[in-house]
Structure 1
């Protein structure tokens, strides 16, 4: 008899003796991990079914929508290297100051309108920057001198002639910029002239007089520039400013260091600043500037007439605030004549000139020339006493620590003493420090000859 029996899944017992049976596993309930293992096994068996199996996701896996992943595009590289000029900013970075100045000057020469724009747009140069440029020319002049030997002969002149001309040309070009009416500040003009005059003092002196025209012309131009500024200052009421700023004394010192080649500027100072005008000698003006009781200094200080008798009357309140009593003309002439006569008399002067630091070796190198040159003035009585200043009293067997020079001179004016000092080899060799020089009137109680 045929009996249909219900089919049951076959159970496989565990290896261990356990009544528990393994649950049935249906292919449709496989986990994603197991499905992946199955697919991997199938792929190993049948490589041709790789695409079909990978296109079917497990039934229990969540549905993932397909998305397009954009791949980065490849940058096209140009393997060909082609030369090209630098861009302007990079080019300017490579130029130093001299090269940039040369390029700018060339452009301005080709296009004058651009040059005018640069002149009007550039800031005004300061006194310090201008003097810095002149000092660079001055340093080039020093470097051009031959090492050792005589620095005043024709050979040395030919070696430095180009650098000397460049320095003189620079001075000639810069001076008018600081003169009125281009420069409206008197103090700025005077500060520049004071500094540039010191540079002119340091120009070399040559054995041949024909070579000294550079320095002589520079002194002439600087002297006229001083006179121009002084005249402009007096028009603006700057006479008191010239006196209170000490510019009168600085100018007289410059004149002495130039050997009197700036006398035109001193005369302009006398005619515009000194109360006595341009009349009278420059010596009397110099003496009156140092005398607190002189009429000039009394007027500047406001004390003139305070010791003179004043008539008291009903009009005193009206007259006194307006005017001060003045000396009669004949009396002022007498005082001026007396001052001139007193200025012609010789006086003793105590001179102290310190050395510049580190100049002992330079001093000793020209000491014999110094003693030889002062001998004529000693014999004629101009120098009464002279010698070296020391740091301390020398001990036996030790070298003297010299730091300067000291003199007693017998001369008419302080300026006369300055001229002699400037012509000394210690001054020309820059051994002495002229910025710290002291020349004091000296009244000796006794001098033993």
Structure 2
């Protein structure tokens, strides 16, 4: 270490052998006085540094004393409250939400209690029915209990908005009825739901922007029957619903989430090279979903696009039954002869709206159909597999064979 100031050096000590000029006593005394002044300044600086450090250490110690303590309630809680875990929320974010909603007294009450249970790190996005003023331990136990999570809405490929009644009288619930059921929550012993009727009214009459209908679908949705304008816009998947939301809020939540999914599936971007509008691709995908099983989607899509290209009617039973709210695969002569915008035996072109919710796979098939020259297909195996043909003669033979084998 160097001593540039000469504070720790004896002024009379010499480290070489060269002769030094003689100095008087007065000069030596002045030199020593100057060194003493420098040393005094140094020690004052050192004392100040140590003093400041000591104060900092004291306050640091005071802070450290509180590290192990945190506020916590006792017991299992008081009144019901719904909290939301968002996609990607870490445990610390969940803990903050619980504190802000009055569930726990502090964030640390939850995080400390959660250190003993690895399931805390696997809490899924969604809404959870909790209690106010819960202990951290009680909050952890409730959050990891599957019964605490409010059941989301599940939409499957091919689901339609309205209920469908089968020939045996059995009712298959539509998306609006399923949405109503999923909206229900019991808070402090009182069950609250948005009714199917409220949802139907909102779907039919609310402003399209308030419902979250995407821009690429607005014009088409405005030109169809109001009770069908949301058909196909709710893609398959799970939807987390906020309890207590109004009918319009619920529909907007579901439709905006669906729009994001559809975007990732290729609508509207994937339609650019197809020659069809995004909404038309959605319609085509819904026909594919209804008419075939997964492995045949690409071929069904090819039949649809090939017929459209030459102006040949689609002649699909699924479109006729859609308007009749029937689940049947086949149709009667009377059904096929009845006029109507969804009867593709009578009306050329696509249906005015989708006839159900198409899956990602059906959308992919509509955007990029399998190469081929098929114009006809019929279900020819009991597992749902279809036979595809280029000529009417080949098609009729496939139909006769399927009937003889009891396929339909």
TMscore range, shorter length: under 0.3
The structure whose residues are more often helix, as a share, is 1
Give me the TM-score of the superposition, normalised by structure 2.
0.25
State the structure with more CA Rg.
1
The higher-RCO structure (CA 8 Å, 6+ apart) is: 2
Give me the TM-score of the superposition, normalised by structure 1.
0.23
